[in-house]
Amino acid sequence: MLYLLVVLWVCCAGLLIAGVVEQRNHYRNLDRIPHRVLVNGIRGKSSITRLCAGALRGGGLSVVAKTTGTAARFIFPDSTEEPVIREFGIANVVEQIGIVRRAAAYHPDALVIECMAIAPALQEINQSKLIRATIGVLSNVREDHVAEMGPTLDHIARALSRSMPAGGVCVTAERERLEILREEASKRNCRLVAADPETVTDEELAGFGWFTFKENVAIALAVAAELGIDRRDALAGMWAAPPDPGVLSVDRVWFLDKRVRFANIFAANDPQSTLMNIRQLERLGLVSRPYTMVINCRPDRVERNGQMGALAGEVEPDSVMLIGEPTRSARLAVPAALQDRIVDLGGELSPYRLLCGVLGATADGASILAVGNIHGQGEVLIDGLATLPGWTPETPAASGPETPAATGLGSVAC
């Protein structure tokens, strides 16, 4: 018995020493990176991470970045990138230790990293132990992750505030909960900077080759200003930055004898952000009625499925397509006035059968609004769309492909 106790104590002491050594090495790696920017919030984190990295590169800094969103990426100082490979495909905040170690090897001036913690306690640990940011970003406060952060927007605002750097700076574009954020920043002796999206002009926004919001650009400009980077240089760096794989986009595709606009809004997977994206595309004239609203359902996002079903009442589409599982969670939330417009595809379908179901029931010249979450059947749909030929507004309607074989998806008609 005494022998077993000795072995136990030796093992515990060994683990304690190893932990202390690992922590010291991690802090040493952090100290090798002068500026550390931690990007948190409900929506836009991945895009803001890329914009901040681009803005700092525009100012001549060597920058490493890491995103978590639609597809986690490690972004090198030359702005090239590669996927973050996770064991068993499971995301864990502990991976930030390896990211910091890898980033420090490049001796960068700055690290811009997306917060991957959801639970409030983990958000605080991510900041105080793993990143120790000198500049924090809190993009916005939206209704999401209510099970972890709390039932109201006030609760969510306070939960997100736990990632603010004590004694540092935090940049936000949030307006409705700004007073709460100021109160939380004061508790941490953190200087809160409110970025104003109205300072971003339409001409500056037009410089991007992809869709983004003035709020996101304003945040990146404010972060760059904190490090003394000129606005013009910061914008040039952002314009040159590669977009996130899940960025808002609209594709013009042919399917059989139809020309359809497909708006990929999967990345904005809370109702408020989704509606904002739809309205922005409408203002830009990139989508037009009639609308087909595709809601991708996931078994681990039942509450979100319902939120997207309810959102159909705001969008008022001509048809509502339900894909993935469980579609019932979205179907029951669709307003009664739209119940007769629902087409429930459900289940796991091949790319061609999914395209047949979605585009086959969509009118020629219509716009498809794909919402919810990209994983699962959303990815299948996107993969199928990538095989379809495109068109331009100048393309004559009669010149498009008219047979299934021309789509590259086989010769079986819908």
Does residue 156 carry a pLDDT above 60? yes
Average pLDDT over residues 81-107: 85
Residue 314, C-beta contacts closer than 8 angstroms, at least 6 positions apart: 271, 275
Model confidence band, residue 249 (pLDDT cutoffs 50, 70, 90): confident
Question: Is residue 362 within 8 Å of residue 292, measured between CB atoms?
Answer: yes
pLDDT digits (tens, 9 = 90+) for 257-266: 889 999 999 8
Q: What pLDDT was estimated at residue 402?
A: 47
Does residue 211 carry a pLDDT above 80? yes
Q: What is the mean pLDDT of the chain?
A: 88
Choose between 1 and 201: higher pLDDT: 201
Distance CA 97, CA 26 (A): 7
Average pLDDT over residues 56-78: 92
Residue 213 has φ and ψ, to the nearest 5°, of -105, 155
CB neighbourhood size of 208 (10 A)? 16
Choose between 371 and 405: higher pLDDT: 371
Model confidence band, residue 133 (pLDDT cutoffs 50, 70, 90): very high
Handedness of CA 372, 200, 205, 114 (dihedral sign): negative
Which residue in 88, 396, 67 sits closest to 257, CA to CA? 396
Average pLDDT over residues 180-196: 97
Does residue 340 carry a pLDDT above 90? yes
Question: Is residue 156 within 8 Å of residue 183, measured between CB atoms?
Answer: no
Does residue 68 carry a pLDDT above 60? yes
Distance CA 367, CA 319 (A): 11
Where do runs of H (alpha helix) occur along 59-137? 95-104, 120-125
Average pLDDT over residues 369-388: 89
Does residue 411 carry a pLDDT above 60? no
Model confidence band, residue 21 (pLDDT cutoffs 50, 70, 90): low
Which residue in 106, 130, 126, 99 sits closest to 57, CA to CA? 106
Distance CA 277, CA 292 (A): 15
Distance CA 278, CA 248 (A): 10
Does residue 136 carry a pLDDT above 80? yes
Written as six digits, the tokens of 54 are 């681009």
Average pLDDT over residues 122-145: 93
Q: What pLDDT was estimated at residue 361?
A: 83
Q: Find the angle CA(347)-CA(349)-CA(352) to the nearest 5 degrees.
A: 155
Q: Are strands 342-344 and 191-194 parallel, antiparallel or unpaired?
A: unpaired
Does residue 414 carry a pLDDT above 70? no
Residue 404, C-beta contacts closer than 8 angstroms, at least 6 positions apart: 256, 410, 411, 412, 413, 414
Does residue 407 carry a pLDDT above 50? no
Domains and CATH numbers, the chain: 28-240 (3.40.1190.10), 249-407 (3.90.190.20)
Distance CA 188, CA 169 (A): 10
Q: What pLDDT was estimated at residue 88?
A: 59
Average pLDDT over residues 359-364: 88
Q: What pLDDT was estimated at residue 24?
A: 87
Q: What pLDDT was estimated at residue 406?
A: 42
Q: Find the angle CA(298)-CA(299)-CA(301) to the nearest 5 degrees.
A: 65
Which residue in 295, 223, 212, 198 sits closest to 43, CA to CA? 212
Does residue 11 carry a pLDDT above 80? no
Q: What pLDDT was estimated at residue 322?
A: 96
Average pLDDT over residues 303-322: 95
Does residue 89 carry a pLDDT above 80? no
Model confidence band, residue 93 (pLDDT cutoffs 50, 70, 90): confident
